[in-house]
Amino acid sequence: MKRFLIPLALGLASTPLMAGTSLLDANEYSVWNAGVAATFADYKFDDNSVDDSTVGFKLYGGYRINKWFGLEAAYHSFGDFSEAPPSPAAAVDVRLDGYSGSVLLYAPINSDEVDLYAKAGYYNFDQELERNNVVTASNSPDGLLLGAGLIVNISKQFAFRAEGEWFDIDDGDLWAINLGAEYRFGRAPEAAAPVAIAAPVAVVAPPAAVVAAPVVKDSDGDGVNDDVDACPDTPAGAKVDARGCEEQLILRGVTFDFDSAKLTPASLTILDSVANTLTRRPNFNIEVRGHTDSHGADDYNLRLSQQRAEAVRDYLIEKGTPATQLTAAGFGEADPIADNGTEEGRALNRRVSLEFSAQAGQ
């Protein structure tokens, strides 16, 4: 069994390398953590002098490097394992505690709620053997540890964790189940979604004579009154020119699956509404622009932003916008609109926008 588990662990650790994933890419997964867990352990000597289960604890801390890998250091206190052989043999107690270091390999699942991982590492424990409450022997076993676990994310800061561990001890088998909680350092709480506020409607007070002046309306809230607005029904948040026609529209809420150009289901609803508006803008050329934050290599971000811009363009064409009106361009991290040093700023910089220009002769 031990000859099988060691190459299995090494094979799991090599999986991202064979898939071509960079181990050093910085991303939003990188975070420090610390936690505590209750340990339910079972220790059995090969000669059956001890076969017992105990409850102890584990303290651990670590750093998740990226989507795939993390590091962890831990202190284990397993308590006392006991065996009471038939008289006149003396009762046996084994006290076991010590430290371990591990590399964690996370499963490639795209979920904000759950993480699965396997781990492999090295341990060094202190072990004391007592007979009738007198220490008769001690040693310091060390060697390979293997494990796997599940993390349930309660928020960006807090998570529950359950894992199993196996320790390769020469004179026995040691298994442990750990159930606990952890805290992540340096992550800001989820920001509340911005609330849109409708623009006020200007009302002209009636003159002294009981005749009311006409009410000037701006039905689409773009800052240009209806009587001079050449492009009614402008989407909320669009930057417009003096005629009330779009110059720029940032597609807030249009997002993609992590590290890909696949649109999320929620994004399709937003783009359906945008496509409906574009059918009423036949005299404009529209450039779909993709942008990223500053995480990752420049050439990778430029390529990803181009792919995302093309995905939005293709969907708008599918929904009826003439292909001759649409082009797509990726700008990578070159045109930030917020501070890339904060998580909120990076979220704003990861965006897709539409840039409008009137066609010749319009």
Q: Which domains does the chain have, with CATH numbers?
A: 2-185 (2.40.160.20), 251-358 (3.30.1330.60)
Q: Name the residue type at position 68.
A: W
pLDDT digits (tens, 9 = 90+) for 100-149: 999 999 998 888 889 999 999 999 999 888 877 788 888 888 999 999 99
Q: How many alpha carbons lie under 13 Å from residue 322 in its C-beta half-sphere?
A: 9
How far, in Å, CA of 91 to CA of 84, rounded? Answer: 5
Return the SS3 of 78.
strand
Residue 294 near residue 27 (C-beta atoms within 8 A): no
How far, in Å, CA of 186 to CA of 66, rounded? Answer: 15
pLDDT digits (tens, 9 = 90+) for 241-288: 666 676 788 988 889 998 888 999 998 999 898 888 888 888 888 999
Residue 245 near residue 292 (C-beta atoms within 8 A): no
Element (H, E) at 185: strand 172-185
Query: The tokens of 25 are what?
Result: 């890419």
- pLDDT value for 16: 43
Q: What is the DSSP letter of 228?
A: G
Across the beta sheet with 351-358, what order do the strands follow?
239-240, 246-250, 351-358, 284-291, 326-330
